[in-house]
A and B are shown apart, each in its own frame.
Chain A
Amino acid sequence: MASIELVQKAGLGEIRERVRFMSAAVLLGVLLLVGRVFWIQIVDNARWLQIAEDNVLRRVDLPSTRGMIRDSRGRVIAANRPAYNVYVIPGYFPMDRFTRFADYLGLTRDERDRLEARMRNAEGSRRYQHMLARSDIDRESLALIETHRSEFPRGISVIATPVRQYPFGELAAHALGFLNEVNADDLREFAGRDYRAGERMGRSGVEQAWESILRGRRGWVRLEHDVRGLLITRDSIAGLGPDRHRDPVPGRDLVLTLDMELMRAIDRAFRGKPSGAAAVVEVRTGRVLALYSKPSVDPNTMTMGISALLNREIDENPYRPRIDKTIYESYYPGSTFKPFTALAGLEAGLIDARSQVTCTGRHELGRRVFRCKHVHGPVSLHRALVESCNVYFYTLAEAVTMDRIASMAFDFGLGHRSGIGINQETPGFIPTRAWYAQNYPGQFRIGHTLNTAIGQGNVRVTVLQLAMAYAALANGGTLFVPQLVSRVEGPDGTIIQTFPPTVRRQVSVTPAHLSMITNALAGVISDAHGTAHAAQIAEVDVAGKTGTAQVSRIVRDPTDPRRSWSTQRDHAWFAGFAPAASPEIAVVLLVEHGGSGGHEAAPLMTQVVREYFTRIRPGAPIPSVATWRAHQPRR
């Protein structure tokens, strides 16, 4: 025994040394663990704390309601309505009652089969997620579903989401714009603006330009969830601190200057004309009462997501429904431009009321011949405007020069963006000598000036620009910025901001010269020889100028009769104001491919003016408020 004990004790010193080494290793190991935990808990804790918080406190969005848009009378032109979407949860849905469910929803056989297949094919966690069965169901289906809900306990849910609604449909669609869902590019581009997939944003018109005002601000609440996403606490939202919730801020309402009753009158006037545009502005404020572009697309269909078929139909429509013809497209002004040429001549002292030109029906310039529509004989400025004599203006143009005409046109806001602030406004174009020198060096001819004088050649204006310019003619030379939004209101109707009229420029023209022009414009209708005399109405004296803009569109598809037709007729203009003696509104109308301005556009103008002054204008007797177009479920 003793020997074994001796053996056992042998080498104990060596073992002790080794154990000391082990102790050092253990100390090092545990210190490394402490260091590692120190790194996680103290140095790097911010990210883990954030994840821990995000784990249990899930953010639930509280949507804000988009502000409404009203017209100048307070009638709603863009509002929100609830759309009811029905979802199924395949894992809880009693499939033996599927056929009945499909009947309640009014699904077609095809839709029913597809939904059933989707439900049966759902696997794993997808079986317990919401699956869209049908969006925006009609009232009848909603009533059926709600009545028979107990047949599908936990298997279905109906969720209401707000959808933008435009009660006036196509009317003023371009000015109003529409909404649609944000896409991946938008989310990147507007990263700072807190958009979410599935949210809708303004895509054009007022909806786009005033997006930030209309949209409001989303709220949120952070509620406690567990790992399966189940809500743990039913906190009262109001009692939570600012780190746990933020109330949504509803969007603000906009009141526009548009008068939908006037818009309707214009729409009636355009009946039978497939394509055209009109703008009506208040002469003394620059407020836009009507901005009309035909044809257009119902923004309700755009907002709900347009079908590919309809989309193609719109794209192929030769009248280009997507184009806002009041500000996005520019046209030759034709004879409606002549007042500005005349003013340039008057201001330069080159002509006066007595100056006469003898119209032989033609004006020769070198080897080129510029024609007039008639042989007017000796014409003064007054007659030249009333009867729209081109020869008078050809003769004047040679003396007045291109740059004087351009300068006057610029003064009246032509050739520059009007500043209405919606859509993509085109500046139009007024040619100058400098422009020709730069783009066509050595090719400038007096002929260019002649064409410019009568609103042809390279002159391009928009309908709205011309309306603003004629308003300035009518009000003694004050050019306004066109105003479309008159005020911003809170959801409770409190006025948050009112926008006053904005003067863009006071055009320096001699009042006597201006009244010569306006008198002549009155004569266009009142004078027996006036180009628009046929459109004269008894109720209101109207002043204005007819115009015919030559069209030279390239035909892309000559076999299409609708397209070839469009190249054969000129655009018909009428630009003017009323009442002639003390103007209140300026009206500009363009009938695309209408033909002669006097025949086609002027009667429309006088019809609109008559309606406005006898029925629509504030103070005029107003008929019963038009009924809103009730929501028509999509079928």
Chain B
Amino acid sequence: MARTIQHRLRDDFDWPLFLVVCVIATLGVVNLYSATSAQTGARAELYIQQIYWLALGGGVAVIVAAIDYKVYERYAYGAYIGSIVALVLVFLLGKSIRGTHRWIQIGSFLFQPSEFVKLCLMLAVARYVHRDQRSGAWSLRDLIAPGALIALPLGLIMAQPDLGTALIVGLVAVSTLSLVRISWRTLGVIVGGGGIGGTLLWLYGLKQYQKERLTSFMSEQVDVQGTGWQAHQSMVAIGSGRWWGQGFMQSTQNQQHFLPDTHTDFPFPVWAQEQGFLGVVIVLLLYLFLILWALRIASLAKDRFGAAIAVGVAALFFWHVVFNVGMVTRSLPVVGVTLPFFSYGGSSVLAILIGVGLLMNVSMRRRAL
């Protein structure tokens, strides 16, 4: 009755998902090679490290895909608690870099728990809200428990502080949560309360420099030499790429060090200057395909939990792309969100590929046994 794993691999393996991830990851490594070519020493070798991480992550993804996701449902809370413990450990024995506590050193590897929190929280939320199906819409009181579930890791990450990751963690969790049916009244209260709270925070909670940081991206009169430097130089790189780009390894903004952090937050401007609008459209369409494909997996999933996982991973990619490209095009404030597969980072690559493994898992198990 049960088909063999070979059959399942042959019949149900999600080739489009596999291929689009391969293509994006390849372009990401190629761009990383160019982006770090202006650096010297260990940084110039980062693209090799990235390949190692991709290989390792690929292996992990295979394992993740092989185990039925029902198992993850069972251990979702355990993973959640584990990730919370890791976040707390960051403060206790974490390594402080540039005044932030984000990493735990394991051997020579800097482990960044917050990357995995995105997945663990998503799993926990998926389990909480989709384990049981109630007949009616969720009330505000019903949302208190999942709200607390989300708020705990969010607070810990914001304390590191890592605004960008907190933002993504929150958005991914809320996206996963958004599959539940919520009454219009509840929604109205949430939106209204959020609006009032945001206004109060803006008026009394934020300091002037924080406000400026949040609004400066909208202004044309940015302080190019100071806080606006990164976004400005990023715009220069993108704008000067025009239709066809200046060619591989030819990004003057990168080669002459005008762009900061091209291996983490700003790989996209390098790509845009070298490959032009054409290259940008290709990459954005690849991401679009990946996200839509993940949503398709969600709608074809055989159960609510699988659908929630797929939606969560789709949200992970979507919000990363939106915020990263948004901030480098001066459409959103610079909050430090990476671009999946284009940004260097062991924890980040591992987390993303685990996400891909989860997608594959749901996709391969979409048909009833």
- Residues of A within 8 Å of B285, CB to CB, are 30
B175, B242, B256, B298 interface centre (most CB from chain A within 10 Å):
B256
Q: Given contacts A11-B304, A44-B239, are A33 and B256 in contact (CB under 8 A)? A: no
Verify if A565 is at the interface (C-beta below 8 Å from B): no
- Residues of B within 8 Å of A27, CB to CB, are 288, 292
Verify if B277 is at the interface (C-beta below 8 Å from A): yes
Verify if B237 is at the interface (C-beta below 8 Å from A): yes
* Contact, CB under 8 Å: B292 / A49: no
What is the bound-complex CA distance between A428 and B131, given in angstroms?
107
Q: Given contacts A18-B179, A30-B284, are A5 and B303 in contact (CB under 8 A)? A: yes
Q: Given contacts A14-B181, A26-B295, are A19 and B311 in contact (CB under 8 A)? A: yes
A30, A44, A225 interface centre (most CB from chain B within 10 Å):
A30
Verify if B227 is at the interface (C-beta below 8 Å from A): no
Verify if B307 is at the interface (C-beta below 8 Å from A): yes
What is the bound-complex CA distance between A280 and B296, given in angstroms?
101
- Assuming A8-B304, A41-B243, A52-B273, what are 7 further A-B pairs, CB within 8 angstroms? A9-B302, A11-B181, A23-B295, A37-B284, A44-B239, A52-B252, A227-B257
Interface string of B161-181 (1 = CB under 8 A from A): 000000000000001001101
Verify if A38 is at the interface (C-beta below 8 Å from B): yes
- Say how far B71's CB is from chain A's closest CB, in angstroms: 14
Verify if A628 is at the interface (C-beta below 8 Å from B): no
- Residues of B within 8 Å of A51, CB to CB, are 236, 239-240
Verify if B189 is at the interface (C-beta below 8 Å from A): no
* Contact, CB under 8 Å: B305 / A8: yes
- Residues of A within 8 Å of B236, CB to CB, are 48, 51-52, 55
- Residues of A within 8 Å of B181, CB to CB, are 11, 14
Q: Given contacts A26-B318, A30-B321, A42-B243, are A36 and B295 in contact (CB under 8 A)? A: no
- Say how far A10's CB is from chain B's closest CB, in angstroms: 4
Q: Which of B240, B277, B281, B314 meets A49, CB within 8 Å?
A: B240
Interface string of B231-272 (1 = CB under 8 A from A): 001011111111100000000110011100000000000001
What is the bound-complex CA distance between A51 and B322, given in angstroms?
26
- Residues of A within 8 Å of B302, CB to CB, are 9
What is the bound-complex CA distance between A619 and B297, given in angstroms?
108
* Contact, CB under 8 Å: B130 / A8: yes
- Residues of A within 8 Å of B131, CB to CB, are 7
Interface size class of B (residues with CB under 8 A): 35 or more
- Say how far A633's CB is from chain B's closest CB, in angstroms: 41
* Contact, CB under 8 Å: A37 / B322: no
Verify if A318 is at the interface (C-beta below 8 Å from B): no
- Residues of B within 8 Å of A30, CB to CB, are 284-285, 287-288, 291, 321
Q: Given contacts A225-B256, A228-B257, are A37 and B292 in contact (CB under 8 A)? A: no
* Contact, CB under 8 Å: A15 / B288: no
Cβ contacts A to B, 25 pairs, < 8 Å: A7-B131, A7-B132, A15-B179, A15-B298, A15-B299, A19-B311, A26-B288, A26-B318, A30-B285, A33-B329, A33-B331, A36-B329, A37-B238, A37-B329, A40-B329, A41-B239, A41-B242, A41-B272, A41-B277, A48-B240, A49-B239, A49-B240, A55-B236, A225-B256, A226-B258
- Residues of B within 8 Å of A11, CB to CB, are 133, 181, 304
* Contact, CB under 8 Å: A8 / B276: no
Q: Which residue on B lies nearest to A225, using beta carbons?
A: B256
* Contact, CB under 8 Å: A48 / B307: no
What is the bound-complex CA distance between A10 and B307, given in angstroms?
12
- Say how far B233's CB is from chain A's closest CB, in angstroms: 8
A37, A44, A225 interface centre (most CB from chain B within 10 Å):
A37
What is the bound-complex CA distance between A232 and B240, given in angstroms?
20
- Residues of B within 8 Å of A47, CB to CB, are 239
Q: Which residue on B lies nearest to A29, using beta carbons?
A: B322
Q: Given contacts A36-B331, A41-B239, A41-B242, are A26 and B314 in contact (CB under 8 A)? A: yes
- Say how far B123's CB is from chain A's closest CB, in angstroms: 15
Verify if A20 is at the interface (C-beta below 8 Å from B): yes
Verify if A16 is at the interface (C-beta below 8 Å from B): yes
Q: Given contacts A7-B132, A40-B239, A48-B235, are A19 and B303 in contact (CB under 8 A)? A: no
- Residues of B within 8 Å of A36, CB to CB, are 325-326, 329, 331
- Say how far A529's CB is from chain B's closest CB, in angstroms: 85
* Contact, CB under 8 Å: A19 / B299: yes
- Residues of A within 8 Å of B273, CB to CB, are 52
Verify if A45 is at the interface (C-beta below 8 Å from B): yes
Interface string of B314-328 (1 = CB under 8 A from A): 100010011001100
What is the bound-complex CA distance between A5 and B276, given in angstroms?
50
What is the bound-complex CA distance between A177 and B27, given in angstroms?
67
* Contact, CB under 8 Å: B307 / A19: yes
Verify if A12 is at the interface (C-beta below 8 Å from B): yes
- Residues of B within 8 Å of A34, CB to CB, are 280-281, 284
- Say how far A38's CB is from chain B's closest CB, in angstroms: 6
Verify if A83 is at the interface (C-beta below 8 Å from B): no
Q: Which of A9, A19, A33, A232 meets B298, CB within 8 Å?
A: A19
Verify if A22 is at the interface (C-beta below 8 Å from B): yes
- Residues of A within 8 Å of B314, CB to CB, are 22, 26
* Contact, CB under 8 Å: A26 / B292: yes
Q: Which residue on A lies nearest to B276, using beta carbons?
A: A41
* Contact, CB under 8 Å: B238 / A41: yes
- A-B CB proximity, top 10 nearest: A48-B239, A52-B240, A8-B303, A226-B256, A16-B299, A227-B257, A19-B299, A30-B288, A10-B133, A41-B277
- Say how far B223's CB is from chain A's closest CB, in angstroms: 15
Interface string of A46-73 (1 = CB under 8 A from B): 0111011101100000000000000000
What is the bound-complex CA distance between A404 and B322, given in angstroms?
92
- Residues of B within 8 Å of A41, CB to CB, are 238-239, 241-243, 272, 276-277, 280
* Contact, CB under 8 Å: A226 / B325: no
* Contact, CB under 8 Å: A42 / B277: yes
Interface string of A179-213 (1 = CB under 8 A from B): 00000000000000000000000000000000000
* Contact, CB under 8 Å: A23 / B280: no
Q: Which residue on B lies nearest to A9, using beta carbons?
A: B303
A5, A8, A40, A227 interface centre (most CB from chain B within 10 Å):
A40
- Residues of A within 8 Å of B133, CB to CB, are 7-8, 10-11
Q: Which of A12, A227, A232 meets B304, CB within 8 Å?
A: A12
- Say how far B52's CB is from chain A's closest CB, in angstroms: 30
